[in-house]
Structure formats: C-alpha cells, structure tokens
Amino acid sequence: MESEAVNSFWESRTKGKLAKKAEKRGQEILGVFARGKLASKGAAIREAASGIGFVDVLLKFSSGLLHVVELKMLKGHDVPGTAQLAKYMSHLNRSEGWLVFFDARKANQKTTIPASFKTAAGTIRTVVIDINPVPPHELK
C-alpha cells in the first residue's frame, strides 16, 4: 500500500493537502487488498455498527475469529482512535483490536508510534502505513 497507493490519499502532496475523505479511500484500498489476500482463508470483511458507532473493518475468519480494525489519519503528534477502538472492542467482547494509521506527516514531523497500547478493554495493536514517504530524489 505504501508503494502503490500513496497518491490516492492526496489532492496535492507538495502542498500537504489530503484528498477529501482520505481515510475512507484508505479503508477501500485496504479492503480490496485484504479481500485479495485473505479470501482463500474464508475471511469476510465489512464495515459494521458497534453500539453507536461504525467499526471501519471487521475481519471474520471461517473459524469464527473476529478482528476489530479501526483506521485513522495521522497528521500530527496526537495518536487518535485508541478510546474509540477500546469502546468497539468492549461492545464486541474482544480483548484485542487493531489500529491502522495512515501516516500523512512530513518526514521531519514523524515520531514513533508504539506497537501496542494497553487499555481497560484489552490490547490495541498498531500498524503504521506511510502515505507521505520521502521522494527518491530527496533522499541523501
């Protein structure tokens, strides 16, 4: 996704202007990728209601194993989504969830995101997808 779909998120990368509904675009791209990779494993992928909100992705394998996945755009130093995902996890009775960040920060603004967070609902694991990589001509 980092190498093939970066431009799908931007109206103008040079101006730092994300496309409208960039997070939704990421959800669609990730969904297509996951369906292609996981269809043979009996996985069903969908957006679903959970209490008063909508989980971005519920991934359910034929074994019944359910993964709760929330997607967020990462634009600054704040790490959004942990409280929201923890609520979804509690509502769905899951002790583990996945928070996928589309990292739109400039290279000089990037900070490390922890691989996981512990919450009262359980463990939130993180995946960071760099959607604003340094162009090759700018590498030293």
User: From CA 52, how far away is CA 91, in angstroms rounded?
Assistant: 10
| Better-predicted residue by pLDDT, 119 or 136 | 119
Q: What pLDDT is recorded for position 52? A: 65
Whether the pLDDT of residue 72 is over 90: the answer is yes
| Residue 126 backbone phi and psi in degrees, to 5 | -115, 150
* pLDDT on residue 2: 63
- Check whether 133 has a pLDDT greater than 70: yes
Looking at residue 3, its pLDDT comes to: 65
**16: Cβ contacts below 8 Å, ≥ 6 apart:** 106
What are 16-65's pLDDT values in tens digits? Answer: 899 999 998 988 888 888 788 877 877 767 666 666 678 888 888 778 88
Q: Is 4 exposed, middle or buried (0-12, 13-18, 19+ CB in 10 A)?
A: exposed
69 Cβ contact list (under 8 Å, min separation 6): 55, 56, 57, 58, 59, 97, 98, 99, 100
Taking CA atoms, 71 is separated from 62, 89, 94, 108, 136, in Å, by 23, 14, 17, 23, 27
Q: Is the pLDDT of residue 75 over 80?
A: yes
pLDDT of residue 4: 74
Sole residue written with tokens 């101006």: 15
- In single-letter form, the type of residue at position 64 comes to G
pLDDT digits (tens, 9 = 90+) for 80-126: 999 999 999 999 999 999 999 999 999 889 999 999 999 999 999 99
Q: Where are the beta strands (DSSP E) in the chain?
A: 10-12, 17-18, 44-50, 53-60, 66-74, 96-103, 116-119, 122-130
Residue 73 pLDDT: 94
